[in-house]
Structure formats: C-alpha cells, structure tokens
Amino acid sequence: MTVVDIHTHVYPPTFMELLRSRTTVPYVRTFPDAPDSSRLIILPGEDDPSTPSTSRGRPIGPEYYDIAQKIAFMDAHKIDISVISLANPWLDFLPAEEAGAAARRINDDVDSICAQHPGRLYAFGTLPLSAPAEVVVEEIERLSKLKYIRGVIIGTSGLGNGLDDPALDPIYAALEKYEQIIFLHPHYGLPASVYGPRANEYGHVLPLALGFPLETTIAVTRMLLSGVWDRFHNLNVLLAHSGGTLPFLAGRIESCIKHDGHLKNHGKTEGRRTVWDILKSNIYLDAVIYSEVGLGAAIQASGSDRLMFGTDHPFFPPLEEDVTEWHSVNANYAAISASFADSPTGEQDVLGNNAVRILKLA
C-alpha cells in the first residue's frame, strides 16, 4: 500500500528569504518581548501589539523550510510520497513586475528539492497571479515541463476579484490545456467583524476552523455560478479541507439556484452543470477533515475515487513536547479507517492509490 500526502506545505529557502526581507504582512519577524522566537505573520492584524503574544501569527522553525524535517515527518507517519505546496499566501502580495521572476525562482527551487528525494516528493507549483495573464500562462506551460510538478496551488483571490472573474479565462484555459490541476486553498478567511468582539479570546480557532473552509466554499460556489465549468469542462480542482463545506451545502446551493427568480428570468437555472455534476467530475477533495462525519459527506458527495489523504503539515503540530505522532494526522487516518471499515480497497484508494492515479505519481 502506498500512502500519499497531497496537502503538505513548504516554505522553500527562496520564499523564506522573501518573507524575512519584508516588514508588512506576510512576513517573518520577532517581537521585543520574545526576541528568540521567529513568528510567521500571514494574516492582517496578527501582528497587532495588543494581540496576546501566543496569538501573534505562529512560531516558525525549520519544520517550515527544512526538507529533512518533512522527510522525517513522512517516515514517522508512514507516508511514502508527499506532494508539497507553497503555503499561503503564495505570491498573491507581490507587485506585478516581481511576480513572474519570483514564481520561476520558487518553482525551480521546489522542483530541485523534489529531485533530491526521487520517488518521495512531488509538488504543486505556484503562479504569479499579480503579473499580466500572459506571464501566468507562460509559467503554467513551463510548470507542465518541470519533472516533479503536478498542478498548481492557488488561493481564492485570483487576480484580485475572486475566481469567478472572467479575466481568469485564459488562465483556466491554459490549466485545462496543460492538464494542470488546481489545488484551491484558503488564505483570506472572512472579515474579522463576523467573529465578534471576543474573537481574540479564542486564539486562532474561529478564522482557522471556520474562516478557512467558508472562504473555500464561497470561492468554489462563485466559480460554479459564473459558469467556469460550463466553459471549461476539463478544469480540475482539488479543494482543501474536504471542500470547505461544499459537500454539506451542495443540496442547499442547488435548491437556492433552482428557486432563484433572478437566475430563472435570465435563463440560468436550467441547462447548466450542477454542483453535483462538478463534484463528481471536476472536483477532487482532500481528506483533511478530522472526523468520520465530515469525511462521510465528502465521500458521498464526490465518491471514494476522488478523495486524497493529506496532513496539512507543518500546521496543527502537537502542543506537547516530544510527541512523534501528530494527533492531527492520526485524526485523519482514524476517520479514513472508520469510514472504510468494510472496504479496504476504498481505504487504500483514499490513502494513496487515488493520488498516484490522479496526479500521475507512478
């Protein structure tokens, strides 16, 4: 049995340099009251001086950039292959004129990291989305020729107006043409106002547990409503965190579309591909959902041939010292095992066979 982790992040050396050179979000810094602790600040407000020191971004150490630690983590958790990806916020924040070169540098860096561990590492590439569309399209073509690249990771912002922006069409067309899957991953969350005045008391829980999956759900629903998949029948998207909440809400989304007077008057309620169509033929889901309840819905929505194991490493590390096996990883292993108690084949598919087939890892 092959175990493949398709949701596992790296900040390669070239990207760390970039983060350390900056003084605004996203960046890596220390604080005067904890000068020995580098913190990764990726969300607005995480560096607010009034934020408790333990809530200021997150500690960043070699587990984020030292590939030997990735391999050790894989070994400790019986993971044969990892498909690594740059973590958020990718290159979304770069000025247009810097993005293309940065993407080439980082993608080459990542590809060469994979080459140092043949058979164990593949990667999703990063796109220079703030650059002109033709630069993005060129990078997609270039990525398709890099030996270890198996798709691209992107956030929900697109060119700045979301993934339902028609200006993305040339990029979607290129991804379809070069058969590059999108790994769609959240970063921006929701406006802080929705969490209320006491949100700081709850650490990162609300933005991380809810903001992230809700952002993904909104992004993919906007893609659906704008007809992206009516125009690009072969555009494939792997959704982080088992689709955000898409499997659970798919029925409500369809009901709201079918009952919308405005859409009906514009001829948009019929003749379109439904969310169920997309879930079964364009969307893939990771299995990073930490419960049998959520995983069951994901399996039922997309099919056990479309789910792929992931860890979200190096995020969700154990808080205890000297723990080798991560609770977060074991929670996902346990959910998969319980969901397929009667189907060892299904379990093996989700743990690795699907990834090998879908991402052509063999």
Q: Which of residues 273-312 bind a copy of itself (CB under 8 A)?
A: 289-294, 296-297, 300-301
- Choice from 21, 24, 50, 265 touching a copy of itself (CB under 8 A): 265
Out of 31, 132, 318, 348, name the contact with a copy of itself by CB under 8 A: 318
Q: What is the DSSP string of 89-129?
A: TTTTTS-HHHHHHHHHHHHHHHHHHHHTSTTTEEEEEE--T
Under the criterion CB under 8 A, does residue 162 sit at the interface with a copy of itself? yes
Angle at 91 between CA 90 and CA 93, to 5 degrees: 115
Q: Could you give the string, one character per residue 21-40, with x where binding to a copy of itself holds by CB under 8 A and - elsewhere? A: --------------------
Q: Which residues of 131-151 are buried (b: 16+ CB within 10 A; e: fewer)?
A: beeebbbbbbebbbebebbbb
CA dist 350 and 346 (Å) reads: 6
Q: How many residues bind a copy of itself (CB under 8 A)?
A: 74
φ and ψ at residue 190, rounded to 5 degrees: -120, 160
325 touches a copy of itself (CB under 8 A): no
Residue of 98, 331, 348, 356 that binds a copy of itself (CB under 8 A): 331
Phi, psi of 41 (to 5 degrees): -110, 110
In the complex, the smallest distance separating the C-beta of residue 1 from a copy of itself, rounded to whole angstroms, is: 24
Segment near a copy of itself (CB under 8 A), from 82-90, 139-147, 168-176, 209-217? 209-217
Query: CB of 108: closest distance to a copy of itself in angstroms?
Result: 33
- Residue 351: in which H helix or E strand, if any? none
Q: Which is nearer to a copy of itself, 290 or 309 (CB)?
A: 290
Considering only the stretches 13-21, 49-57, 117-125, 146-154, report the one whose residues sit in contact with a copy of itself under the rule CB under 8 A: 49-57
Which strand ranges, in their side-by-side order, compose the sheet holding 58-59?
27-31, 34-41, 58-59
- By the rule CB under 8 A, 210 interacts with a copy of itself: yes
Residue 340 CB, shortest distance to a copy of itself, in Å, is 15
The residue within the footprint of a copy of itself, chosen from 21, 319, 322, 342 (CB under 8 A), is: 319
H or E stretch covering 182: strand 182-184
Contact 116, 151 (CB under 8 A): no
Answer yes or no whether residue 57 interacts with a copy of itself by CB under 8 A.
no
Q: Residue 301 CB, nearest distance to a copy of itself (Å)?
A: 5
Q: Is 198 in the site for a copy of itself (CB under 8 A)?
A: yes
Does 355 bind a copy of itself (CB under 8 A)? Our answer is no
- Return the SS3 of 57: coil
Q: Cβ distance 222 to 163 under 8 Å?
A: yes
Quick one: which of 31, 93, 178, 202 contacts a copy of itself (CB under 8 A)?
Answer: 202
How many other CB atoms are there within 10 angstroms of residue 94's CB atom?
19
What Rg, from alpha-carbon coordinates, does the chain have?
20
219-248: which residues touch a copy of itself (CB under 8 A)?
A: 221-222, 225-226, 241-242, 245, 247-248
Q: How far is the CB of 102 from a copy of itself (least distance, A)?
A: 26
